[in-house]
Amino acid sequence: MGRRYILVFAFCVAALVRAAAADSFTGADWAVRFNRPDQTTTTTSVWPDEYVIRDAFLARIDALASNDWGCLATYTFSGNSAAAGAAGPILLAMSNALARGAKVAFVADNGVNIASNYWPGISLTGLATRTGNKLELSRAPVDWGIMHDKVGVFWYRAATQAWVLSGSWNFTGGASSYQWNVLAEIQNRELAAAYSNEMREMLSGRFHANTNKSHAHDGARFRLADTWTNGWVRFAPYPDKTYGGSNALTDVVAAIDAATNEIVFALNKLTRPDVANALIRACDRGVRVHGAFTRSDLVATNPLSSYPIYAMLQEPANYATANRVFLYDAYASAKRLAYDSGEADLVHAKYMAIDPRGSAPLAIHGSANWTEAALVDDRSNDENVLFLPHAGLAQALVAQFNAMTDGTVPWFRLESGGEAATGRFVYWLPYTNRYEVLFTANLLEPAAWTNLLQGLPPGRGTNAVTTTNRAERGFFRLRQIP
């Protein structure tokens, strides 16, 4: 039997959009949490779940009991407010955990101010030199690379559990208020052992450019409940910086090339043309690709920004078919009143969901921007990238995308006559002032379709769009059923 196509009607779409309203998605051994920025750090105006990621870290620290072990790592550290900060509340939580007898460690990039009292009377230096049970503190040296992880690893002896918290959220108030960020929480002892080994390397002073840093735990495999295969984690710098060698970029490109149905990504920075070429190949195979960049990194005059890749993905001549990557602007805040107008690092996420509703879903997520230094190099950044073959985790990332943008599940719109068999269907092309209009004599015969790009304003040409320009930028799509 041949393939048939069905319409995804508005009531189905509405249900999926409502699902995206939650800020935390959880399973038996995992959770995904994303914050809702409001573009203000005032303590009198805190948006619901603005600090959901910070609070997840605080809850893990607060759960540490005597002889439990926890280690945190961050690229930046600031914010002294209990309601709207990060560093202050984390310092207080670590101080209390040390007083309970927990073993606590902290890894910081060189730019972190370890002497500052972000909480009255408490600093990283103070905790590391306190009488009795001390904080184990390590700070990256000044050299070519950076310590870019945003990680928590927690071992709880009584519960015989180990948790890894990894994401794009630096330990600052601004990361909650001014950026869209994502956190994955994973309960798995094998994964926690790999992260603990990475933390121990840096706690011993072996950072990015140190040739003595061990890579033995890079690529560690682990298995979560409800996964279709083993997951794995990559730690930068990598043992092999050659293209096609043992590094995260090789894994990312292979994953994109294996996609069969849908890809959703949100990236603070993408400078690798091999990723763009893989996305274009996916489109040419018929895969639906939806993505978001941060506008502040789309600088046409800067060849080191994401703009060259954005331009590649926007150029119709690079595609063999009419299918292409659809790119969206993020909303500036969770209030969804205005789009990204260049707010610094607004889209701070670093993830990709591949075939989230298929038989082989994969979530890629971590601290790494998708650059040479973070995905390939053997002497640059300390980073972590998780490869999670899990439908729930992948679909949670899609929910974050839908909350941050107009979403991948659009509203249905039927034009010209209202009959499904003879009507026409309008797609909005993000980042352009055009519609793509699909015409067909019979919806069940896709080979009969022709594509027409219509310019605005409406009313141009025989088959022109007859509605006014819409403020929203969703688009209709067909769902393919085997």
Give the domain-ending residue among 404, 431, 461: 404
Token couple for 370: 């998708």
- Contacts for 91-96: CB closer than 8 Å, 24+ residues apart: 91/118, 91/119, 91/122, 91/123, 91/124, 91/127, 92/119, 92/122, 93/58, 93/61, 93/62, 94/61, 94/127, 94/135, 95/119, 95/122, 95/127, 96/62
**Can you tell me the distance from the alpha carbon of 54 to that of 165, in angstroms, rounded to the nearest whole number?**
11
Within a domain: 420: yes
**Domain boundary, last residue among 404, 431, 447:** 404
pLDDT of residue 356: 94
Residues 382 and 465 occupy one common structural domain = no
- pLDDT above 70 for 482: no
In sequence order, what E strands does 8-94 have? 24-26, 30-34, 69-74
3-class secondary structure, 313? helix
Residues 358 and 449 in one domain: no
Closest alpha carbon to 335 in 34, 50, 83, 18 = 50
pLDDT band (50, 70, 90) for residue 322: confident
Q: Is the pLDDT of residue 333 over 60?
A: yes
> pLDDT digits over 336-377, tens only?
888 999 999 999 999 999 999 999 999 999 999 999 999 999
Residues in the chain: 482
**Span 275-284, pLDDT tens digits:** 999 999 999 9
What average pLDDT does the segment 88-101 reach? Answer: 98
The reported pLDDT for the residue numbered 243 is 84
Q: What is the pLDDT of residue 74?
A: 98
Do residues 367 and 432 share a domain? Answer: no
The DSSP H or E segment spanning 18 is: helix 10-19
> Is 16 within a domain?
no
The whole-number average pLDDT for the span 257-261 is 97
Same domain, 386 and 297: yes
Q: Above pLDDT 70, what percent of the chain?
A: 80
Instruction: Find the mean pLDDT for residues 167-174.
Output: 97
23 pLDDT band, cuts 50/70/90, is: confident
Residues 349 and 416 in one domain: no
**What was the pLDDT predicted at 6?**
26
Q: What is the pLDDT of residue 13?
A: 28
The pLDDT, as a whole number, for residue 46 is: 79
Distances (CA, A) of 335 to 211, 243, 258, 280, 320: 47, 42, 36, 33, 38
What is the structure's pLDDT at 336? 87
Q: Can you tell me the mean pLDDT for 211-215?
A: 93
**Phi and psi of 288, rounded to 5°?**
-85, 125
* 458 pLDDT higher than 50: no
Is the pLDDT at 36 greater than 70? The verdict is yes
pLDDT greater than 90 at residue 14: no
Instruction: Tell me the residue range of the domain where 152 lies.
Output: 21-404
Band of pLDDT at residue 454, cut at 50, 70 and 90: very low
Same-domain check for residues 325 and 306: yes
Query: Mean pLDDT over residues 5-20, rounded?
Result: 29
Domain contains 15: no
Give yes or no: residues 418 and 351 share one domain: no
pLDDT confidence of residue 376: 96
pLDDT at 412 over 50: no
> Residue 474: what pLDDT?
33
Tokens linked to 260: 């069969």
Q: Which of 342, 370, 404 is the last residue of a domain?
A: 404
Q: Is the pLDDT of residue 437 over 50?
A: no
What pLDDT is recorded for position 406?
77
Residues 415 and 400 in one domain: no
Domain assignment of residue 111, yes or no: yes
pTM for the whole thing? 0.83
In terms of phi and psi (left: phi > 0; alpha: psi -120 to 50; beta: otherwise), the region of 439 is beta
Q: What is the largest CA-CA distance in the chain?
A: 82
Is 381 a member of any domain? yes
Per-residue pLDDT at 147 exceeds 90:
yes
Q: Does residue 435 carry a pLDDT above 60?
A: no
Range in 38-52, 95-109, 184-198, 359-373 the model is least confident about? 38-52
Does 189 lie in the same domain as 122?
yes
pLDDT surpasses 80 at 383: yes
**Range scoring the smallest mean pLDDT among 29-43, 224-238, 377-391, 418-432:** 418-432
Number of domains in the chain: 2
Lowest average pLDDT, out of 115-119, 359-363, 416-420, goes to 416-420
Residue 326 lies inside a defined structural domain of this protein: yes
Q: What's residue 209's pLDDT? A: 85
Residue 187's pLDDT is 98
Domain co-membership, 255 together with 128: yes
* Crossing angle for the helix pair 248-257 and 273-284, to the nearest 10 degrees: 10
Round the average pLDDT of the chain to a whole number and report it. 83
pLDDT, residue 434, reads 39
Q: Tell me, yes or no, whether 463 and 397 share the same domain.
A: no
**What number is the average pLDDT over the span 258-272?**
97
Q: What is the CATH number of the domain that holds 161?
A: 3.30.870.10
Q: Within this chain, do residues 287 and 387 fall inside the same structural domain, yes or no?
A: yes
pLDDT at 469 (0 to 100) = 30
4 has pLDDT over 80: no
